Amino acid sequence: MIMRMAAVAAVMLWGSVTLAADEYRVEKLEAGPPADALSAEIIEKLTPTGFRVLGEDDQVVCEVWPVKQLDVKPDFQPTLSILYPLKSGSLVGALHFPHKGTDFRGQEIESGTYTLRYGQQPQDGNHIGTFDTRDFVLMLPAAADRDPKTFEGEGFVETSGEASGSTHPAIIPLLEPLEGDEATLTHLEEPEWWVLHITSKDAEGKTVPVELIVVGESDE
């Protein structure tokens, strides 16, 4: 099993501010996903309430709504590089940035609403050694992702580039999934990461945890 402390980079830095661990917290968000940004079909797949990550002076870092049911691979067995049973291109949730943020690579992400899709880091010379595992979530602009069905092929990767305004998708690495039904925000001191633990269900009603690094900065 991959240890959390062995990972190499971080994502979604709010602005350029790094705060002490006790200055971040997560709370339940009673409001539903943004109906003015997301399609009705996407909203139907999301939980009616979400979670809000708060920073200094209780300013909102981001808001996240998980999907009710994840599209998982049957008979999945984790490996050293792939820990999540999710199908490539499947919907994981939605995220709202009230302020400009950044992704794993330090690419600026404009304020707004994004869908979250599961993807795997390519096995090529450009990516070897950049992260211990291949599990990632890609951010897609809500206006460009209106159908909740799992993507066929890799077209969603190019669409994610619209979020970052580049040829590279806007990505969030996933850490080792942990047990627990409650949403939590965990601080990892080395490097300075804050990991949001959320859960969804699979088709059989089993809990599937997802670990998103919601505050941090790249070491590279």
Q: Please tell me the predicted confidence (pLDDT) of residue 220.
A: 58
| pLDDT given at position 22 | 62
Query: Closest Cα to residue 88, out of 28, 37, 38, 156?
Result: 156
C-alpha R_g of the chain: 16
Closest CA to 178 of 153, 203, 199, 152: 199
pLDDT at 123: 63
DSSP string, 153-173: SSHHHHHHHHHHTSSS-EEEE
SS3 50: strand
State if pTM tops 0.85. Answer: yes
Ordered per-residue pLDDT tens for the chain, 220 residues: 333 433 333 334 333 334 455 689 999 999 999 999 999 999 999 999 999 999 988 999 999 999 999 999 999 999 999 999 999 999 999 999 999 988 877 889 999 999 999 999 876 545 444 568 899 999 999 999 999 999 999 999 999 999 999 889 999 999 999 999 999 999 988 878 899 999 999 999 999 999 999 987 656 5
Place of tokens 């959390």: 4
